[in-house]
Structure 1
C-alpha cells in the first residue's frame, strides 16, 4: 500500500494517532487492503469534530457521526459498518475509550412508504413530514443529510436553532468548506422545510449572508454526428435507453422509470409520469428507434412471462396503490421498459420483484462509449438531453415547444440553450480567415 495515507487529500501532515492506528489495525487482524479506507473514515470523523481533539470524543460524537453517514446519499450499509469498525479501533484501541467497544451501528432508515412514528427525534419527524408530502426518496435522503449536519453544527457550537444559526451554518459551508452554490441552496431548502414542517416556526427572512457565487456555465453539446457515433458505440443493453435520453430529451431517471403503459408506439409519444417537480408531460418518441423499441418490448414481455410462471410478485410498486390494486404489479402495463437483469427481495414485504436497471450502469456505459468513440468532451447521460434541446432549436423549433418537451417550469431555463447555438454571433468569420 505504500505511504499514500500518511497524508490526507489536502496534503496535511500525518496525525499524531496515525502510527498507533496502523499498529492497532494490524493487531486486530484486518486485511491490509482496507487500511486506506479505515484511515479515510477516521479522518472524516476527526473533521466532523470541528477542531476538537479526537481523544476527547464522546459516544454521542461517534454515534452522531455514524448516524450522519447512515442517512447520507450514496453511503451504503457496508460502508457504515466499516466506519464503525474504524472508530472502534481508533477510540477503543488507540485512545482506550472503553465505551468504544459498544458503539451501535445505526439502524438503516425504514422503506420510504412505511409510516414513521412521530416521536421526539427530529430526524424521524422530518422523514414523516417528507413522506406525507410524497417527496422522492432522493429528496428525503438529501434533506435528512443537511438537517443532520445542521443539528450537529448547533450541538457542537452550543447554539440555539434559530435564524442566526441557519445563517452561520450556510456561511460556514461557503467560507470553511468552499461548497458550491447548488449545495448551499440545497441545504437552505432542507432547513426551510425543517423549520416550517418539523419545528413549526419558519425562521423568516435571513437577511444578508455570504452566498456561494453560481458560475455561469454553458452546457456541453455534441454535434449530430458525434451523437450518432456515441449511440452507435454504446453497449447493446444500454443503447436504447441512451437513445431515448437524446431522442426524447429525458432525464436519466425519467428514462429508467418508464413503464410499458408510458410508451405509445402508434402516436410516437412517451409519457413522463411524476417527473421532476412531480409533473407529468408528453415528449416525442424518435422514429429511428421505434421498431427497435417494439422489438425490445417483445423480449421484455418474455421475461415478464417467466417471472409470472415462477410466482414472483412483479415490478416495484407503491404500497398504498398495491393495497388498492393488488394485482397491478404483475400486470404487463406496469412493468419497467428497461428491467434489471436480476431479481431482488423487497425488504419491506419480503416479496421477490424486478426493478429497473441501475442508473450507474447506464452512466458507465455512456462514459465508456464516449471514450471509445474518441469524443474529446466531458460526456454524461445529461449531455444527451442538452443535445436534444440545442438541436431542436437549431432546427427552428419554437422555444416554448422545447420548454414543454423538456418539462421546464420557467422558459428562462430553456433560454440557456440559445447561448450555444451556431447563430448569430458565432456565425461571423474570424479575421484570421480573411
Structure 2
C-alpha cells in the first residue's frame, strides 16, 4: 500500500465525513480554505502560522469589508483545517474584527409571500411553498423523496438534515393536492421512460 499522503482536499473531505458535517458546510469551509491558500500564495497550510491566519482575517475585515458572520465562518473553516485535519493547534488568534452592522430585518407579509410564489415558474412554486410552509432548507427540499411525505399525518420526515440529524416537520395541508398531482406526473414520466426497457427480473419486480 502506498504511503503517499492524501492530498489536502481529500484529507479535508475525509475529516468532514468523520464528523458528519453537512454538504453545505463542506462546500463553505473548503471555499474559505482555498481563499486562505491563494492569499498565502498556495503555500501548504502546515508551513503557515497563526500570524498568517491573522493577516488573512484582517484582510477580510479591512480590505474586503465582509460582514462579521462571514469573517467568523472563515475563522471556523481555518480552525477546522488546523485542529481537525492537520492536527496543528492554533490558539490566541488576534485579528481585526469586522464591524457588526445593525440592520432592521425585512419580513414579508403573507400576501407578499403569496405574490412572490405566484410569479415563480410552475415547477418551482411547490418547492417555494414547502420552504415557506414547512421551514425546510433548500438542500433538504431538493433531497425529499416520496416516502418522506406522510399525507395521513400531514408531516415531512427530513433525513440527514443539519448536523446529520433526522427530524419531522409540518406538511401544509393545502399543498397535498399539488404534491399528489406532481407524484402522478412523475410516475407517468417514469413509466414512459422505462417502457420497452429490458431489466433483470429482480430489478423489474422492485420497480413494479
Same fold (TM over 0.5): yes
Residue aligned with 1:277, SS: helix
User: Which residue of structure 1 aligns with residue 70 of structure 2?
Assistant: 183
Correspondent of 1:204 among 73, 81, 91: 91
Deviation of 1:230 (Å): 2.9
Residue aligned with 1:145, SS: helix
Instruction: Label 1:307 to 1:186 Cα distance change in 2 as closer, same or farther (>3 A).
Output: farther
Distance, in Å, in 2 between the alignment partners of 1:201 and 1:296 is: 51
Distance, in Å, in 1 between the alignment partners of 2:11 and 2:198 is: 34
Question: Under a length normalisation based on structure 1, what TM-score does the superposition of the two structures give?
Answer: 0.41
Equivalences for 1:68-107 in 2 at 5 Å?
none
Distance, in Å, in 2 between the alignment partners of 1:214 and 1:308 is: 56
Equivalences for 1:26-105 in 2 at 5 Å?
none
Residue aligned with 2:157, SS: strand
Deviation of 1:134 (Å): 4.0
Deviation of 1:266 (Å): 0.7
Contact 2:61 2:96 in 1 (8 A): yes
Correspondent of 1:263 among 145, 149, 152: 149
Which ranges in structure 1 are unaligned for 5 or more consecutive residues?
1-116, 314-326, 333-434
Deviation of 1:155 (Å): 4.4
Equivalences for 1:76-155 in 2 at 5 Å?
119=5, 121-155=7-41
Is 1:237–2:123 an aligned residue pair? Answer: yes
Instruction: Label 1:184 to 1:303 Cα distance change in 2 as closer, same or farther (>3 A).
Output: same
- Over the aligned positions, Cα root-mean-square deviation in angstroms equals 3.1
Question: Under a length normalisation based on structure 2, what TM-score does the superposition of the two structures give?
Answer: 0.80
Number of equivalences: 201
Residue aligned with 1:168, SS: helix
Deviation of 1:310 (Å): 6.3
Is 1:295–2:181 an aligned residue pair? Answer: yes
User: Which residue of structure 1 aligns with residue 135 of structure 2?
Assistant: 249
Is 1:167–2:167 an aligned residue pair? Answer: no
Correspondent of 1:219 among 105, 114, 126: 105
Contact 1:118 1:124 in 2 (8 A): no
CA offsets 1:194-235 (integer angstroms, 9 cap, x no match): 1112221221232x4211123233432222222233333332
Contact 1:270 1:284 in 2 (8 A): yes
Contact 1:123 1:148 in 2 (8 A): no
Residue aligned with 1:178, SS: coil
Instruction: Label 1:296 to 1:121 Cα distance change in 2 as closer, same or farther (>3 A).
Output: closer
Distance, in Å, in 2 between the alignment partners of 1:228 and 1:284 is: 19
Equivalences for 1:251-400 in 2 at 5 Å?
251-309=137-195
